[in-house]
Amino acid sequence: MSHHDNVNQHKESAGWLVRHRLIVPIAVYAGIFTLSMMVAFALAYNFHRTAQWFGALLVPLLILSVPTKLVVFGWSKQFRGAWRYVGLYDLIGVVRASLVGSFVFVLLYFVIENVWDRQFGHRLIDRDLGNQLRQAVFLLDWAATVGLVGICRICVRLYHEEVHAERFEKQSRALIIGAGDAGEALLREILRTSRERYDVVGFLDERPSQIHRTIHGVEVLGDLDDMKTVCERQRVDEILIALPKTTPREIRRVVEICEGNNLRFRIVPGIADLIDGRMQVSQLREVDIEDLLGRAPVELDVTSIAAQLSDKRILVTGAGGSIGSEMCRQIARFKPKKLILFEQAENNLFEIERELRSAFPGLRIVPYVGDICDAVRVNFVMECEQPAAVFHAAAHKHVPMMEINPGEAIKNNIVGTRTVADAAVENGVPKMVMISTDKAVNPTSVMGCSKRVAELYVQQISEKSSTQFVTVRFGNVLGSSGSVVPIFRRQIAAGGPVTVTHPEMMRFFMTIPEAAQLVLQAGVMGTGGEIFVLDMGDPIKIVDLARDMITLSGLRPEVDIEIQFTGPRPGEKLVEELAIAGENVTPTQHPKIGVWKHKPDDLERIRRGIERLVALADVDNPAAIQSQLRDVVPEYHEEEEFKQHRAEPEAVSPPAVASSAQPASGG
Q: For position 41, what pLDDT does the model report?
A: 73
Give residue 389's pLDDT band: very low, low, confident or very high (50, 70, 90). Answer: very high
Give residue 530's pLDDT band: very low, low, confident or very high (50, 70, 90). Answer: confident
The string of pLDDT tens digits covering residues 138-180 is 777 777 777 777 777 777 766 665 555 444 445 788 888 888 8
Calculate the average pLDDT of the chain: 76
Averaged pLDDT for residues 100-107: 76
Q: For position 294, what pLDDT does the model report?
A: 62
Q: Name every residue whose Cβ is closer than 8 Å to that of residue 514 and which is 6 or more positions away in sequence.
A: 295, 298
Q: Is residue 648 over pLDDT 90?
A: no
The string of pLDDT tens digits covering residues 262-303 is 788 887 765 444 444 445 555 566 676 766 666 665 667 778
Identity (one letter) of the amino acid at 466?
Answer: S
Q: For position 16, what pLDDT does the model report?
A: 45
Q: For position 647, what pLDDT does the model report?
A: 40
Candidates 75, 76, 77, 67; CA nearest to 37 is 67
Whether 439 sits among the annotated catalytic residues: the reply is yes
Domain limits, the chain? 3-163, 172-287, 302-651
Candidates 411, 445, 381, 400; CA nearest to 576 is 445
Give residue 317's pLDDT band: very low, low, confident or very high (50, 70, 90). Answer: very high
Averaged pLDDT for residues 44-48: 67
Q: For position 17, what pLDDT does the model report?
A: 44
Classified as helix, coil or strand, 391 is strand
CATH 3.40.50.720 fits 172-287, yes or no: yes
The string of pLDDT tens digits covering residues 6-19 is 444 444 444 444 44
Q: For position 49, what pLDDT does the model report?
A: 59
Q: For position 117, what pLDDT does the model report?
A: 58
Q: For position 372, what pLDDT does the model report?
A: 94
Averaged pLDDT for residues 242-254: 75
Which CA distances in Å does 104 have to 461, 465, 540? 85, 83, 70
Cβ atoms of 601 and 456 within 8 Å: the answer is yes
Q: Which helix (H) or strand (E) holds 103?
A: helix 88-120
Return the CATH number of the domain spanning residue range 302-651. 3.40.50.720
Most confident of 87-91, 272-276, 498-502: 498-502
Find out whether the peptide bond into 486 is cis, omega within 30 degrees of 0.
no
The string of pLDDT tens digits covering residues 570-606 is 656 666 665 443 456 777 777 777 777 666 678 888 8
* DSSP-derived secondary structure for 614-655: HHHHTSS-HHHHHHHHHHH-TT----HHHHHHHH-GGGSPPP
The string of pLDDT tens digits covering residues 466-493 is 999 999 887 776 655 556 777 888 888 8
For residues 368 and 352, what is the distance between their CA atoms, to the nearest angstrom? 12
SS3 per-residue string spanning 123-181:
CCCCHHHHHCCCCHHHHHHHHHHHHHHHHHHHHHHHHHHHHCCCCCCCCEEEEEECCCH
Q: At what angle do helices 322-332 and 512-525 cross, to 10 degrees?
A: 60
Q: For position 8, what pLDDT does the model report?
A: 47
Give residue 72's pLDDT band: very low, low, confident or very high (50, 70, 90). Answer: confident
For residue 532, the cross-strand partners are: 472, 595
Alpha helices in 366-414 (DSSP H): 375-385, 399-404, 406-409
Rg (CA), the chain: 36
Please indicate whether residue 348 or residue 464 has the higher confidence score (pLDDT): 348
Give residue 312's pLDDT band: very low, low, confident or very high (50, 70, 90). Answer: very high
Please indicate whether residue 61 or residue 399 has the higher confidence score (pLDDT): 399
Give residue 394's pLDDT band: very low, low, confident or very high (50, 70, 90). Answer: very high
Pair type for strands 509-511 and 585-587: unpaired
The string of pLDDT tens digits covering residues 167-217 is 444 578 888 888 887 788 888 878 776 666 788 888 888 888 888 888 887
For residues 73 and 31, what is the distance between their CA atoms, to the nearest angstrom? 14
91 backbone φψ class: left, alpha, beta (φ>0; ψ -120 to 50): alpha
Cβ atoms of 170 and 237 within 8 Å: the answer is no
Q: What percent of the chain has pLDDT over 70?
A: 71
For residues 471 and 528, what is the distance between their CA atoms, to the nearest angstrom? 9
The pTM of this model reads 0.62
Which CA distances in Å does 177 have to 209, 213, 225, 285, 584? 15, 14, 12, 14, 44
Averaged pLDDT for residues 233-243: 84
Lowest-pLDDT range of 35-49, 120-134, 251-265, 458-472: 120-134
Q: Is residue 219 over pLDDT 80?
A: yes
Please indicate whether residue 499 or residue 65 has the higher confidence score (pLDDT): 499
Candidates 193, 364, 346; CA nearest to 282 is 193
Q: Which helix (H) or strand (E) holds 332?
A: helix 322-332
Most confident of 29-38, 121-130, 330-339, 632-641: 330-339
For residues 314 and 316, what is the distance between their CA atoms, to the nearest angstrom? 7
Q: For 344, list phi and psi in degrees, rounded to 5.
A: -80, -40
The string of pLDDT tens digits covering residues 535-549 is 766 777 888 888 878
For residues 71 and 104, what is the distance between their CA atoms, to the nearest angstrom? 10
For residues 352 and 341, what is the distance between their CA atoms, to the nearest angstrom? 9
Averaged pLDDT for residues 102-112: 75
Given the residues 439, 451, 573, 592, select the one marked as catalytic.
Answer: 439
The string of pLDDT tens digits covering residues 320-331 is 988 899 889 989
